[in-house]
Amino acid sequence: MALCVIAGISSYGGAARAEDASAWRDIETKYIFGFTTGSGIGLEGEKEFTVDSIGRFGKRDGNYAATETKYEFEFTPSQFIQIEFGALGSTHNIGGVTGLDDRNQVALAGGFAEFRYLALERTSNNPLAVTLAVEPTVRRIDETSGERVRNFEFETTVNADLELMRNRLYAGFNLLYEPEVTQMLTGETQREATFGGSAALSLRLASNVVLGGEVWYLRHYDAANLTSFTGDAVMLGPTLYLRFTPKMFMTAAWNTQVWGREIGNPVSLNLAEFQRHRAKLKFAWEF
C-alpha cells in the first residue's frame, strides 16, 4: 500500500507542486483516512448530520451482503470534545452461507453514542494529534447474521494522525479495542472482542480532494478480556475524501481481506469472523 501511495505521490509530484498547498485552508483530518479515523473533533459550535454506511461482502460460500448505516448527529460543545449519537439501520442479504440462516431483510438495528476527547492537539510546531474515543452501541439485530439479539458493544479507539507535509500529506493510525456481549433469543450469551490497529496514508491532491490507502490488522477473541483467540485478518484498500462545498463532503473506502487465518481451520483467509470485502460511504452536512 505504502509503495502504491508513494508511486502515486511521485507521479503526481509535478501537478501537486503547481498548486501552492500553503494557500489552502487547514483540513479537518477526521474523515480523510477511510475506515481509519483521524484525530479531528470539529469546530466548537459546529453541528453536523451524516449518513454513514458500511457494507460487508463475501463469506466462505454462498452469497453474503450486509450493511449497517448510521444516521448520525454530531456536535462539538468545546474545543476538546465532540459528541455524536444516532440510530442504526441494517440490511442483510444472505443465501447459502454455512452457519448462517438465509435472510433478506431491512431493519432498524439499534442506536449508538460516541464521545471523543482531543488529548494532544496539532500546532504549526507539532505535527502529531491524538484523540481518544469511546462508542457504546446497542443493537437488536446481529451485525453478521441479521438475527434478533440483544447486543451491547463498547468500542474504544485511539485516533492519531501526523501531518507529514504541510497541508499535503498525512499519516493516520488507529488502535481499536471493541468488547461486546450478545444475548441470543435462544437464551445463549456470547462474549467476544475485536482488537487491532490500522495505518493509513493520505495525499491531498487539491484543496478539496484527498486520496490514500489504509491497512488494518484485526484479531478476534471469544472473550472480552482477549484470552480466547479465534483468528485474525489483514484488510487493505484505497480511500477517498471529497469536499463539495465548505459545508458538505463525502468519504469513501474499500478494504479487501488479503490475509487471514481461522484457528483450527487450515484454510486461507478468515471469513468466519471477518468478511472478504468491506466498503464505506459517508455523506455529511455541516450547519
Binding site for another protein (CB under 8 A): 25-28, 41-46, 76, 78-81, 113, 115, 117, 121-126, 134, 136, 150, 152, 154, 181, 183, 187-191, 222, 246
**Amino acid (one-letter) located at 179:** P
Contact 92, 109 (CB under 8 A): no
Instruction: Report the nearest approach of another protein to the CB of residue 44 (Å).
Output: 5
Distance, in Å, from the CA atom of 176 to the CA atom of 174, rounded to the nearest integer, reads 6
Kindly tell me which of 65 and 113 has the beta carbon lying closer to another protein. 113
**Residue 60 vs 191, nearer CB to another protein:** 191
Taking the least distance from each CB to another protein, the nearer of 10 and 245 is 245
CB of 139 vs another protein, minimal distance in Å: 13
Q: Report helix, strand or coil for 6.
A: helix
CA atoms within 13 A on the CB side of 219: 14
For another protein, the closer CB: 10 or 124: 124
Residue 248: in which H helix or E strand, if any?
strand 248-262
| Closest separation in Å from C-beta 49 to another protein | 16
Residue 130 exposed, middle or buried by CB count within 10 Å (0-12, 13-18, 19+): middle
85 sits in the region (left: phi over 0; alpha: psi -120 to 50; else beta) called beta
147: cell is: 438475527
The distance of closest approach from Cβ of residue 195 to another protein in the complex, given in angstroms and rounded to an integer, is 18
Which residue carries 469511546 as its cell? 134
DSSP for 126-187 reads B-EEEEEEEEEEEEEE-TTT--EEEEEEEEEEEEEEEEEETTTEEEEEEEEEEEEEEEETTS
Q: Which is nearer to another protein, 121 or 217 (CB)?
A: 121
CB of 254 to another protein, least distance (A): 27
For another protein, give the closer residue by CB, 9 or 113.
113
Residue 45 amino acid letter: G
- What's the closest the beta carbon of residue 69 comes to another protein, in angstroms? 23
SS3 (DSSP) at 5: helix
Q: From the CB of 79, what's the least distance to another protein, in Å?
A: 5
CB closer to another protein, 179 vs 238:
179
